[in-house]
């Protein structure tokens, strides 16, 4: 047990969430820069897609390994390494002279993000008392919820006021500050020696890469032939990885006993639905606002301000209350508000919809964003034994990111198909919103089965 005084625990979390915020913003900030990549870097449509896909691939594939790495050499060390890599790659992105260089720099950025992300939940689990972890998860949830919508807002303002390069340059001062604060404020936590499962690392990396790569390719290259083969190979690779984890007698990369904890299993499913929605709906919504409603990047981004403000106000409050009240009350409000807001958009969005009519569902989406992150994360992670906190954090973040990849690809593909079928861009975007509405509703139903008061999941022997 490495619980520290509460004031020091909050300082450690504050240092880590600066970097976590930058990482999540960078998933969506490029959504408003696609036209700039085409006009200024001469990028093709496929290359523009890869500016995002390369980052996402490099981010999601190593997460299982980097979570465990924090257990072995310390979350502070791994977090600092990730921040340095991410900040340096942000400078490289901003200085890119062609789209190929930008894509390579985004790969490095994604790997830096993969090093940092699991450390935040691992540190929360290890430095906060059990009764205060909900409040800490509330702060983490506020960052996650706000960052998911700040990307398009900030990106639009920077591109209109300065240049597309500043969507990357803006990371540099924050990255430098985060490195200093993480080194000073995050304690040197106890580490554990690990025997690394080399076969598991190869199988998980290969399976995740093939699956994610196939899904990303499907949106631009179609879903048959080679794409279907890649996805099938990825599924086989992941199945082989799970089988191997059940056979490892030393120390598996993913202790499958983690999933004996009902809340951890349900929380992973639920957070994948959040990732599906937040990553998958931002680009279609920005596309609708800019192409159909002919708003500027800045105006399009500012349309999301009600969601960001409501989520930012609710998330810390929900996190504190979830320590004392059954978290299922909050997940019920959050997930069902999310689903209702998307269904609302699906019913009203078309080429003739007025801009003010969109504020209602966007604001309701903020209610959903503010209520889902903290109770889902704290309930899923709360009872994990500290010795497997890093592994559990890696699994949880990997699940969230896989949901994001699936959402981005599936909603994008459905939107394109409906636009072709209807000949109406607004109606095509609206029809695509039915899918995330259904997915996040399933996530909410899963959280209704959360249990409380069970014993922690022990470390593998």
Each residue's pLDDT tens digit, 57-90: 788 878 778 877 877 788 888 999 999 999 999 9
Q: CA-to-CA distance for 268 and 266, rounded, in angstroms?
A: 5
Q: What integer pLDDT is reported at residue 453 of this predicted model?
A: 56
* Per-residue pLDDT band at 97 (split at 50, 70, 90): confident
Q: CA-to-CA distance for 320 and 281, rounded, in angstroms?
A: 28
* Per-residue pLDDT band at 239 (split at 50, 70, 90): very high
Q: What integer pLDDT is reported at residue 340 of this predicted model?
A: 96
Structure tokens at 391: 């592994």
Q: CA-to-CA distance for 75 and 190, rounded, in angstroms?
A: 9
Q: CA-to-CA distance for 430 and 424, rounded, in angstroms?
A: 10
Answer whether residue 165 shows pLDDT above 70: yes
At 384 the three-state DSSP class reads strand
User: Mean pLDDT over all residues of the chain?
Assistant: 82
Q: CA-to-CA distance for 118 and 113, rounded, in angstroms?
A: 9
Q: CA-to-CA distance for 440 and 278, rounded, in angstroms?
A: 10
Answer whether residue 208 shows pLDDT above 70: yes
Average pLDDT value for residue range 20-40:
78
Dump pLDDT digits (tens) for 262-297.
888 999 999 999 988 887 787 788 778 877 888 877
Average pLDDT value for residue range 396-409:
80
CA distances from 35 to 42, 46, 156, 411 (A): 10, 13, 12, 21
Task: Please choose, from the candidates 219, 279, 216, the residue with its C-alpha nearest in 3D space to the C-alpha of residue 28.
Answer: 279
Question: Who contacts 62 (Cβ-Cβ below 8 Å, separation ≥6)?
Answer: 111, 114, 115, 205
Q: What integer pLDDT is reported at residue 195 of this predicted model?
A: 67
Q: At what angle do helices 99-127 and 133-161 cross, to 10 degrees?
A: 160
Select, from the ranges 153-167, 174-188, 279-293, the one with the highest average predicted confidence (pLDDT): 174-188
Answer whether residue 456 shows pLDDT above 60: no
Q: CA-to-CA distance for 220 and 417, rounded, in angstroms?
A: 12
Q: CA-to-CA distance for 375 and 141, rounded, in angstroms?
A: 9
More confident residue, 360 or 407: 360
* CB-CB neighbours of 293 under 10 Å: 17
Helices (H), 4-162: 6-28, 34-41, 45-60, 63-73, 75-95, 99-127, 133-161
Q: CA-to-CA distance for 319 and 136, rounded, in angstroms?
A: 7
């Amino acid at each position: 047990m490495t619980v520290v005084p509460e004031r020091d625990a909050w300082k450690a979390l504050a240092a880590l969430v600066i970097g976590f915020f930058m990482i999540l913003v960078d998933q969506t900030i490029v959504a408003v820069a696609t036209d700039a990549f085409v006009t200024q870097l001469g990028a093709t449509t496929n290359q523009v897609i890869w500016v995002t896909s390369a980052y996402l691939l490099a981010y999601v594939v190593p997460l299982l390994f980097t979570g465990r790495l924090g257990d072995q050499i310390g979350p502070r060390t791994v977090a600092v390494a990730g921040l340095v890599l991410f900040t340096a790659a942000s400078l490289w992105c901003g200085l890119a002279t062609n789209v190929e260089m930008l894509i390579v720099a985004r790969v490095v950025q994604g790997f830096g993000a993969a090093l940092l992300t699991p450390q935040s939940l691992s540190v929360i689990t290890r430095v906060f008392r059990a009764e205060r972890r909900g409040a800490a998860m509330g702060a983490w949830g506020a960052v996650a919820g706000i960052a998911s919508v700040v990307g398009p807002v900030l990106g639009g303002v920077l591109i209109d006021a300065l240049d597309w390069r500043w969507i990357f340059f803006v990371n540099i001062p924050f990255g430098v500050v985060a490195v200093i604060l993480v080194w000073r404020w995050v304690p040197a936590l106890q580490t554990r020696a690990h025997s690394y499962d080399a076969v598991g690392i190869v199988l998980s990396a290969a399976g995740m890469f093939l699956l994610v790569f196939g899904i990303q390719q499907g949106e631009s290259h179609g879903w048959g032939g080679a794409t279907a083969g890649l996805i099938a190979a990825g599924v086989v690779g992941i199945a082989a990885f799970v089988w191997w984890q059940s056979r490892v007698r030393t120390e598996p990369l993913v202790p499958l006993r983690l999933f004996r904890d009902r809340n951890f299993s349900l929380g992973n499913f639920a957070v994948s639905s959040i990732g599906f929605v937040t990553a998958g709906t931002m680009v279609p919504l920005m596309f609708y606002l800019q192409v159909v409603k002919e708003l500027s990047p800045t105006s399009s981004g500012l349309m999301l301000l009600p969601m960001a403000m409501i989520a930012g106000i609710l998330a810390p409050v929900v996190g504190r209350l979830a320590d004392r009240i059954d978290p299922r009350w909050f997940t019920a409000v959050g997930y069902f508000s999310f689903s209702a807001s998307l269904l609302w958009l699906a019913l009203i969005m078309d080429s003739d919809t007025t801009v003010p009519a969109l504020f209602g569902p966007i604001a309701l989406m903020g209610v959903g964003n503010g209520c889902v992150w903290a109770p889902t994360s704290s309930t899923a992670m709360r009872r994990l034994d500290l010795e497997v906190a890093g592994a559990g954090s890696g699994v949880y973040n990997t699940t969230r990111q896989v949901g994001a990849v699936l959402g981005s690809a599936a909603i994008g593909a459905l939107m394109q198909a409906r636009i072709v079928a209807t000949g109406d861009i607004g109606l095509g975007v609206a029809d695509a919103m039915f899918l995330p509405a259904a997915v996040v509703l399933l996530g909410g139903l899963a959280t209704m089965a959360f249990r409380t008061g069970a014993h922690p999941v022990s470390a593998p022997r």
